[in-house]
Amino acid sequence: MSYLNIENLEKTYGKEKVIKGFSLQLEQGELAVIIGASGCGKTTLMRILVGLEYADSGKLLLNGKDISDLKPGQREIGMIFQKYSLFPNMTVRENIAYGLRVKKCPKKEIFEKTDEMLEMIHLTEKADAYPSTLSGGQQQRVAFARAMIVRPQILLLDEPFSALDTELKKELREELKRIQRETGLTAIFVTHDREEAMVLANRLFIMHDGKIEQCGKPWDVYNNPKTLYVASFIGACNIIPTEQFKEAAGISPKAEYAVIRNEKILLKEKGYSNPKAVLIPVTVSDAVFCGKTVKYTLSSASGMILKAEMPSQEDVHFQKGDNVTAEIKKENVIGLNH
């Protein structure tokens, strides 16, 4: 049996069924990322796991023990929310120490453990500051330390970095990864940011409409999506009905749709040849420079529209109106049914 077993959870609010037979297994020390669109039930699920909400049916087993009916304080599951939730009238040190004070730990132990946490989040010099004087990123680090000090069996993080700017997000992501590795923390991280999900996940779970639609290693889910929803949610792609994909005759997969990631469509000069690949003469109808990459919109003679994204290089840069060749390697065409 896995460390955490979530079995067939169901939750309805009024007439709306929000969680629909949700199941997930997690091993100890794993960092699982749940990615899903807004409103698919992520926060509701986290609230059920931590005990702020109860499921209508289904089971939660942690370390072999049924915790479905336990109160939040009895579950040893910590949670960090999207919005900063520090106590404004307590200093950083008091915020972090809170969980141990509630547990009535000896003063000396509280002080030492709080020091350790302050060091871990690199905020020792801010111990006596109040939350309102900290930056958003610093506040989330304090929230993290406050949740970690009681050594939860699982830590839940519900979009903890979504209010932060890109650079800070990346920094905190790395910090979380480091601490997770060092402490062997088991955690579930919820996000709707693709890059964040890919970077963090040991295992990635794609949630759609109240349940898991696919799970696996990030690269595997990215390269082998099992549904059209997962394919397009996890990264930009072209979805072409196979009967319209005449250019790929002979190699197009035996499925209703051919799915090709934008970056797997390579632009070559007009007249380029490669007998092993699908080559489609196209006209560039749009080219947008995005810094690291250029995003192209292409149209073929048969009216097919393709989206491509290529690294921006000085020597290859096509422009609107150019006639070029789109090259697609056979192994990069994924066949999927509706």
Ligand X SMILES: Nc1ncnc2c1ncn2[C@@H]1O[C@H](COP(=O)(O)OP(=O)(O)OP(=O)(O)O)[C@@H](O)[C@H]1O
Taking the complex as a whole, the smallest distance from the CB of residue 256 to ligand X amounts, in Å, to 29
Nearer to ligand X, 162 or 299 (CB): 162
Nearer to Mg ion, 46 or 278 (CB): 46
Cα–Cα distance for residue pair 24/34, rounded to 1 Å: 10
Taking the complex as a whole, the smallest distance from the CB of residue 8 to ligand X amounts, in Å, to 18
Q: Which does 192 bind (CB under 5 to 8 A by kind): ligand X, Mg ion, none?
A: ligand X
Taking the complex as a whole, the smallest distance from the CB of residue 230 to ligand X amounts, in Å, to 16
Do residues 156 and 143 make contact, with C-beta atoms less than 8 angstroms apart? no
Please list the alpha-helical segments (H only) found in the chain: 42-50, 92-102, 107-120, 136-148, 166-183, 194-200, 218-223, 228-234
Taking the complex as a whole, the smallest distance from the CB of residue 262 to ligand X amounts, in Å, to 24
In sequence order, what DSSP letters do the residues of 94-137 get, joined into one string?
HHHHHHHHHTT--HHHHHHHHHHHHHHTT-GGGTT--GGGS-HH
Q: Which does 137 bind (CB under 5 to 8 A by kind): Mg ion, ligand X, none?
A: none
Which of 49, 12, 13, 19 is closest to 212 using CA atoms?
19
Cα–Cα distance for residue pair 36/209, rounded to 1 Å: 9
Taking the complex as a whole, the smallest distance from the CB of residue 157 to ligand X amounts, in Å, to 13
Q: Which does 44 bind (CB under 5 to 8 A by kind): Mg ion, ligand X, none?
A: ligand X
Q: Which does 40 bind (CB under 5 to 8 A by kind): ligand X, Mg ion, none?
A: ligand X
**By the criterion CB under 5 A, which residues form the site for Mg ion?**
42-43
Which of 30, 41, 34, 131 is closest to 84 using CA atoms?
131
Q: Which does 36 bind (CB under 5 to 8 A by kind): ligand X, Mg ion, none?
A: ligand X
Nearer to ligand X, 211 or 261 (CB): 211
Count of residues in the chain: 338
Q: Which does 77 bind (CB under 5 to 8 A by kind): ligand X, Mg ion, none?
A: none
Nearer to Mg ion, 188 or 259 (CB): 188
Nearer to ligand X, 43 or 242 (CB): 43
**By the criterion CB under 6 A, which residues form the site for ligand X?**
13, 16, 18, 36, 38-44, 192
Cα–Cα distance for residue pair 59/325, rounded to 1 Å: 54
∠ CA 160-164-167, rounded to 5° = 115
Extract the tokens encoding 113. 């453990």
Taking the complex as a whole, the smallest distance from the CB of residue 247 to ligand X amounts, in Å, to 38
What stretch of H or E contains 324?
strand 323-329
Nearer to ligand X, 38 or 273 (CB): 38
